[in-house]
Amino acid sequence: MGADVVWPDAAVCAASFSFDVDGEAAAIAADPATARSMSAMSHQAYGPLVGVARLLDILDHRRVRSTFFVPGATADRYPGVVRDIAAAGHEIAHHGYHHVTPTTLSPAEQAEQLDRGSDTLEQLTGLRPVGYRAPMWDLSWEMPGLLAERGFQYDSSLMDGDVPYALATRSERPGRAPLIEIPIQWALDDWEQYCYLPGVTELGPIQTPEHAVALWRSELDGMRRFGGCWVLTNHPFLSGRPGRAAALDALIAEVLELPDVWVAPLADIADRVRGSVGAPRAVAPIPSSMLRTAPRED
Amino acid sequence: MGADVVWPDAAVCAASFSFDVDGEAAAIAADPATARSMSAMSHQAYGPLVGVARLLDILDHRRVRSTFFVPGATADRYPGVVRDIAAAGHEIAHHGYHHVTPTTLSPAEQAEQLDRGSDTLEQLTGLRPVGYRAPMWDLSWEMPGLLAERGFQYDSSLMDGDVPYALATRSERPGRAPLIEIPIQWALDDWEQYCYLPGVTELGPIQTPEHAVALWRSELDGMRRFGGCWVLTNHPFLSGRPGRAAALDALIAEVLELPDVWVAPLADIADRVRGSVGAPRAVAPIPSSMLRTAPRED
Amino acid sequence: MGADVVWPDAAVCAASFSFDVDGEAAAIAADPATARSMSAMSHQAYGPLVGVARLLDILDHRRVRSTFFVPGATADRYPGVVRDIAAAGHEIAHHGYHHVTPTTLSPAEQAEQLDRGSDTLEQLTGLRPVGYRAPMWDLSWEMPGLLAERGFQYDSSLMDGDVPYALATRSERPGRAPLIEIPIQWALDDWEQYCYLPGVTELGPIQTPEHAVALWRSELDGMRRFGGCWVLTNHPFLSGRPGRAAALDALIAEVLELPDVWVAPLADIADRVRGSVGAPRAVAPIPSSMLRTAPRED
Amino acid sequence: MGADVVWPDAAVCAASFSFDVDGEAAAIAADPATARSMSAMSHQAYGPLVGVARLLDILDHRRVRSTFFVPGATADRYPGVVRDIAAAGHEIAHHGYHHVTPTTLSPAEQAEQLDRGSDTLEQLTGLRPVGYRAPMWDLSWEMPGLLAERGFQYDSSLMDGDVPYALATRSERPGRAPLIEIPIQWALDDWEQYCYLPGVTELGPIQTPEHAVALWRSELDGMRRFGGCWVLTNHPFLSGRPGRAAALDALIAEVLELPDVWVAPLADIADRVRGSVGAPRAVAPIPSSMLRTAPRED
């Protein structure tokens, strides 16, 4: 565990069950042609239409509070779903408006997506989101500054640590709490295990829930040994399916039994570490000297 | 289980073993260059030439009635196979004519494919098909209306539910039974487990039958817990192979032993639920506001 | 088992351990840019340089005779390897000259590749090959006729059967033995389990030998139940590696113990079935009516 | 085992745990667009920022000396990491400067990358590297000569052997020790098991550490049977993650217990075999006669 982070109850590891409620927006942003396919859209709609309710039931039964990242466009299409999540006591966090990856947008467009998404969620829930996760987990270099300027408390899109840290931004100001980064990783994501969407993601044979859970458990056990903050991400359009939801339910029960693990939503984790993470970490930009890639002519 | 659906015999879950008899048509539609390859064509021809007969034997031995979706072009090439399936008491359903995905066709072309496929199957079996599944599981937004206009009783191409429902179409009329949607999903398909066809599908290492069955069983167990309608799809050119057919046979036997599962062909499922599914569900079209994806110039 | 095929010793299933000795030729034909990479070439060269000798030792120890398909270009680069295989009593069969897929060649070019490959192998071994397998398992529609004209006894490139059959060609003549087709399938190939060659094949995570053997065994068990001719294909550049060779060795031992399986090289299988397979099967060409795939304009 | 190679302590197999410390450079060289993504860069940065320290702790605890291949650009970005590796007693070896694959560079550009990388590492550690591994394991035909001219003692980028050998170069001179090649293979690499980096590597479902270790162990067992030099490669940005590091730690412990395996860094292996490998092996260039791949016009 990072030297400065101390979890409650003498836990050696924090854990969070987070959800990305992509809906149709994620498929459309990845490939606009999917919007023509009622089947592809229905595959994505399964999340808000069916998956979220099942997952809320499971979380409620296990008494776990969680964080749901919702694109603004999905919130606009399924406002009742967002209200249900909030009413159940979970955190609603920001996942872009159109689920367009920030790295393909100008800074002004990024800011517009950010504000539009925040406005949408605030109108639905009465609360402005304090957490952000980049669509497609593809954070731009400009985004931390944009988040800090707007008072976001944490981002959860980077992959360079086991534990949360304060991330330096271009908008540091005396007296303002630093932006906390809560790292994620692709091995703790259900997308790479379950997602098959022709033309968007064809990563290989769809895996069994047993395989996915074994992978996630191996990393949890590693973090229990070395310390860490285990942030699992499930997508309701994938893990809301009956067999996967049952496996996730069993995993939640298993994690809750571990005496050395502290389970919390991401906002609580950000709150917890804010005072102890030390000075913000500055991530050096990629220098032009690293960009030499011109191939030979022949 | 959807509140309105009640299965026979107090079952909590319905199950159907469906088959997509693609034949050469599926490969040609995906990539016309495959037609030049006698090997690729033979890979697809295995289904009607060998696989169907083996699967019919298994279904007969297990006394299970099933639904076979057959593209018109495949029926024209293998008329005896279609007659054999029908003679064994199974349902023959519509799977396009050329196995071209509807989303790449104009509405007039879709209607032409639909009528041509229905005519072909009716000429062979004496019955006009009442069920439809889109080639490549890629239903267009226009198709439900086209199906309803023609009196189809059900579609089985969408992925936004665990249980069948009535699907609103642009052709609703008083007194006409609604189109029933019987949802499917890619995790209950043998294609993502077994299919390797260079240039068309190279999804990764071909999986063992044991892996495929474990995946399908996990979803069945989930549906037995949460309620659902488990629609498995096998392709005779894939699952007609000896080792896979043996594994499917064992799975069928296993499912038949479950007291809480009702096994039926899809037409029977559509009949069963028609009276209890309630008002047709309208699927909102994708609004233009969700289509913003123009990347920045740079 | 096909009604007309009877295996020796009351076996219900025939089995053959065949090898495709691709060498560098397969990579170069798939992507000429690989020739620039000494690493990629060395990956392919492992087969003739190391793998073949190890596999010959195993076959010798198990007293199994096998069939090795060798591209002419590979034979020209490694003549001693071809002589070693022949000296060990195995069949040397034809695998193209440059390992170019026939479907990308004109009939004249196919004939040239065929004759050049036969000449090369004959010069090295004194025997003209009687068996053929298309490079990349991609047989052209013209090739069966070309093979029959040249007196080939069998082809092993199609996938539309469980048992060998006589294949009708455009060169049928009274009194001449028909061309026997000995079917293969991708699930009985080590390529889809083990091959990773950037830019050529990136099929997913490299599988364990345990996984590959489990897949192959499941199909063998299926064929022992339903009848069949189990033709396994291994590539020395892949399965010549120590861990895979050890697993293949164990599988060979296991198969040899099965009382209901007859193990033989492909030429022996062709000989065995020639008299009992009945009239040649004519494979209908793909009619132009199956080729409608023009997408809509929009 | 190669007839001429004898390992210390009557071992039948040598083993080396090597590491490629790619960092951001590997992603940027594969696709310069990744440099725009702070997330993608953070995924790569995990290696030097977190993974290396964890792996060094494990190696120290197990008392294993290893070889770390570091691109010059990564060393320039993380000089302290390189010094830490060297201070822990491990070998620092050459992995290009920009991690650009040599096969895309002219000979002059290759030489420039080579010298710049050597200068960088020498400035940091005081030692000029004696070992080289090509970025992306994609050695050019010119590189062995360039390495020999500069006095490198070994290369570890080819895949055509189970044991080290002397590699003939265009720079052979009487009295100068030959360049030793220590072969690698993709099945002994964590990249194909764990790496997912959108737009760069999407090889399929991320595997469990259990799967990766089972694959690596199967090859080790094969080499213990047939003889060999087992060179495992892990990337700190992948295998530095807690669950994978724990699995690697357990594997190291397991290997150290094997009485027939000799564990050493690559430079020690090169030293050991130099006197016994015999005359340099000349790898024949690919003749133009193997390059016929022009497809037919049609």
Is D254's Cβ below 8 Å from some Cβ in C?
Answer: no
Q: Please give the share of chain B, as a percent, with pLDDT higher than 70.
A: 97
Contact indicator for A16, A265 with CB cutoff of 8 Å: yes
CATH architecture, domain defined by D8-278: Alpha-Beta Barrel (3.20)
Q: Of B221, B131, B234, which Cα lies nearest the Cα of B182? A: B131
Q: Look up residue C270 and give its two tokens.
A: 């062709």
Q: Look up residue B242 and give its two tokens.
A: 């000896």
Among A44-58, A173-187, B129-143, C75-89, whose mean pLDDT is lowest?
A173-187
pLDDT value at position D4?
65
pLDDT value at position D9?
87
pLDDT value at position A4?
65
pLDDT value at position D84?
98
Among B30-39, B259-268, D170-179, whose mean pLDDT is lowest?
D170-179
| The residue type at C261 | V
Q: Of C189, C186, C179, which Cα lies nearest the Cα of C283? A: C179
Is A204's Cβ below 8 Å from some Cβ in C?
Answer: yes
What would the pLDDT profile of A114-151 be if each residue is shown by its tens digit?
A: 999 999 999 999 999 999 999 999 999 999 999 999 99
Q: Look up residue B202 and give its two tokens.
A: 């190279």
- Computed over its alpha carbons, how large is the radius of gyration of chain A? 19
Chain B nearest C-alpha distance from C138 (Å): 5
Low-confidence ranges of chain C (pLDDT < 50): 1-3, 295-298
- What are residue D234's DSSP bridge partners? D19
Distance CA D296, CA D298 (A): 6
Q: Of C73, C85, C87, C96, which Cα lies nearest the Cα of C24? A: C73
Is the per-residue pLDDT at A249 higher than 90? yes
CB neighbourhood size of D116 (10 A): 16
Is C287's Cβ below 8 Å from some Cβ in A?
Answer: no
Taking an 8 Å cut-off on Cβ atoms, the answer to whether B205 and D205 are in contact is: no
Chain B nearest C-alpha distance from C81 (Å): 29
SS3 content of chain D, % helix, strand, coil (to 5): 50, 15, 35
pLDDT value at position C53?
98
Question: D86 vs A90, D67, D271, CA distance in Å?
Answer: 48, 10, 19
Residues B132-142, mean pLDDT to the nearest whole number: 98
pLDDT value at position A292?
72
pLDDT value at position B172?
72
Residues of D in contact with C245 (CB under 8 A): 222, 226
pLDDT value at position B199?
85
Sequence-separated (6 or more) residues with CB below 8 Å from residue C271: C153
| Residue D43, SS3 per DSSP | helix
Is the per-residue pLDDT at A155 higher than 90? yes
Residues B100-106, mean pLDDT to the nearest whole number: 96
Contact indicator for C130, C152 with CB cutoff of 8 Å: yes
Residues B86-94, mean pLDDT to the nearest whole number: 98
pLDDT value at position C9?
87
pLDDT value at position D201?
87
Question: A115 vs A78, A119, A168, B244, CA distance in Å?
Answer: 19, 6, 21, 53
Taking an 8 Å cut-off on Cβ atoms, the answer to whether D296 and C38 are in contact is: no
Q: Please give the share of chain B, as a percent, with pLDDT higher than 90.
A: 88
Residues of C in contact with A204 (CB under 8 A): 204-205
DSSP classification of residue C85? H
Residues of B in contact with C221 (CB under 8 A): 242-243, 246
Chain D nearest C-alpha distance from A292 (Å): 7
- Give chain A's mean pLDDT: 94
Taking an 8 Å cut-off on Cβ atoms, the answer to whether B208 and C192 are in contact is: no
Distance CA A14, CA A7 (A): 7
Measured at the CA of A212, the angle between CA A211 and CA A216, to 5 degrees, comes to 120
pLDDT value at position C86?
98
pLDDT value at position A239?
98
Closest residue in A to B286 (Cα–Cα):
A35
Residues in chain A: 298
Question: Which range has highest mean pLDDT (A270-284, B4-18, B94-108, D166-180)?
Answer: B94-108
pLDDT value at position C4?
65
Closest residue in A to D48 (Cα–Cα):
A160
Q: Of B128, B138, B66, B72, which Cα lies nearest the Cα of B101? A: B138
Go through B35-64 and write b for each residue having 16 or more CB atoms within 10 A of its CB, e for each that does not.
bbbbbbbbbbbbbbbbbbbbbbebbeebeb
pLDDT value at position A2?
47
Contact indicator for A21, A238 with CB cutoff of 8 Å: no
Among A20, A159, A192, A195, the strongest candidate for a mutation testing the D interface, having the largest count of D CBs within 10 A, is A159
pLDDT value at position C294?
52
Q: Look up residue A150 and give its two tokens.
A: 């707007």
From the list D160, D226, D290, the residue facing C54 with the nearest CB is D226
Taking an 8 Å cut-off on Cβ atoms, the answer to whether C214 and B208 are in contact is: yes
- What are residue D230's DSSP bridge partners? D15
Question: Who has greater pLDDT, B100 or A295?
Answer: B100
Is the per-residue pLDDT at B173 higher than 90? no
Instruction: State the 10-residue block means of pLDDT for chain D, 298 residues long.
Output: 73 98 96 96 98 98 98 98 98 97 96 98 98 98 97 98 95 83 98 93 92 98 98 98 98 98 98 92 93 55
Task: Give the position of tokens 């191409």.
Answer: B157
Measured at the CA of D144, the angle between CA D138 and CA D149, to 5 degrees, comes to 140
pLDDT value at position B284?
92
Is C231's Cβ below 8 Å from some Cβ in B?
Answer: no
CA atoms within 13 A on the CB side of B58: 25
CA atoms within 13 A on the CB side of C198: 20
pLDDT value at position B11?
96
pLDDT value at position A222?
98
Q: What are phi and psi of A233, to 5 degrees?
A: -120, 125
Chain A nearest C-alpha distance from C205 (Å): 9
Range 87-146 of C in CB contact (< 8 A) with B: 103, 134, 136-141, 143-144
Question: Who has greater pLDDT, A291 or A57?
Answer: A57
pLDDT value at position A89?
98
Question: C110 vs A266, C96, C106, D143, D296, CA distance in Å?
Answer: 64, 9, 6, 37, 10
pLDDT value at position D176?
82
Q: Of A135, B159, D293, A219, which Cα lies nearest the Cα of C73? A: D293
Give me the DSSP letters along chain A: --TT---GGG-SEEEEEEEE--THHHHHHH-GGGGGBHHHHHHHHHIIIIIHHHHHHHHHHHT---EEEE-HHHHHH-HHHHHHHHHTTPEEEE--SS---GGGS-HHHHHHHHHHHHHHHHHHHSS---EE--GGG--BSSHHHHHHHTT--EE----S-SS-EEE--TT--TTSPPEEE----GGGBSHHHH-EETTTEE-SSPPPHHHHHHHHHHHHHHHHHH-EEEEEEE-HHHHTSHHHHHHHHHHHHHHHT-TTEEE--HHHHHHHHHTTS-SPBPPPPPPGGG---PPPP-
Q: What are phi and psi of A54, to 5 degrees?
A: -65, -40
pLDDT value at position D294?
52
Distance CA C181, CA B187 (A): 35
Go through C72-92 and write b for each residue having 16 or more CB atoms within 10 A of its CB, e for each that does not.
bbbbbbbeebbeebbebebbb
Q: Three-class SS string for chain B? A: CCCCCCCHHHCCEEEEEEEECCCHHHHHHHCHHHHHEHHHHHHHHHHHHHHHHHHHHHHHHHCCCCEEEECHHHHHHCHHHHHHHHHCCCEEEECCCCCCCHHHCCHHHHHHHHHHHHHHHHHHHCCCCCEECCHHHCCECCHHHHHHHCCCCEECCCCCCCCCEEECCCCCCCCCCCEEECCCCHHHECHHHHCEECCCEECCCCCCHHHHHHHHHHHHHHHHHHCEEEEEEECHHHHCCHHHHHHHHHHHHHHHCCCCEEECCHHHHHHHHHCCCCCCECCCCCCHHHCCCCCCCC
Question: A245 vs A5, A23, A92, CA distance in Å?
Answer: 32, 17, 20
From the list B29, B46, B244, the residue facing C160 with the nearest CB is B46
